[in-house]
Amino acid sequence: MKLIMLGAPGAGKGTQAKKIAAKYNIPHISTGDIFRANIKNGTELGKKAQSYMDQGLLVPDELVCDLVVDRIQQEDCRNGYVLDGFPRTIPQAESLTAAMEKLGTKIDYAINVEVPDENILKRMGGRRACLACGATYHVEFNAPKTADICDTCGAGLVLREDDKPETVQKRLDVYHAQTQPLIDYYTKAGVLAEVDGTQDMEDVFKAITDLLGE
């Protein structure tokens, strides 16, 4: 079962990817994890990635794809995997498809967790974080007992820069420009599956498991 998770920032695709990985006993693979593992282990690919990152440059698509393809050939991926955060662009998707064809394999499903922008702005704009102990809250869905005060340690809660509406909107604009075309790409490939991400987290997961089977 070889899966790709798609969805806007804040759509909940990372949470669903972890739940899928746990249920089906397959690895949850994010590009960040791959970068960290290769850099930590001092692999040739890791050294190449580090050289770009040290210069404040984006790691080129070709190298990112090489890192992902190296990862999915490891023993723990024999029964499948969930890719989270890759591919992000059409060139990355095309590179991945070409590399997988060489390996004689292909993606089974690209699962798009569909959430309208206004829902994401509400979700993320309502988050509050405790910088003292790391606890997180939401003004509507998981409010602290006392407004803007952490239940755990009593410190004040803040709206992080990443969760401010203008920051979230910028990230959504980038997503729509770069990543949204992947939905068309995987639709044409006949592997796109869409789930309604506005539902409760467990209902979203059930929709995905209904698709994938037990």
- Which residues belong to the active site? 13, 88, 127, 160, 171
Among 112, 138, 89, smallest CA distance to 17 is for 112
Helix (H, G, I), strand (E, B) or coil at 29: strand
**H/E stretch holding 48:** helix 44-54
Q: Round to whole Å and give the CA distance between 189 and 107.
A: 10
> In the block, which residue shows the tokens 């393809």?
69
**What's the DSSP call for residue 154?**
-
The two tokens of residue 179 are 């990543």
SS3 content of the chain, % helix, strand, coil (to 5): 50, 15, 35
Q: Decide if 185 contacts 88 (C-beta within 8 A).
A: no
Which residues face 165 on adjacent strands?
Answer: none
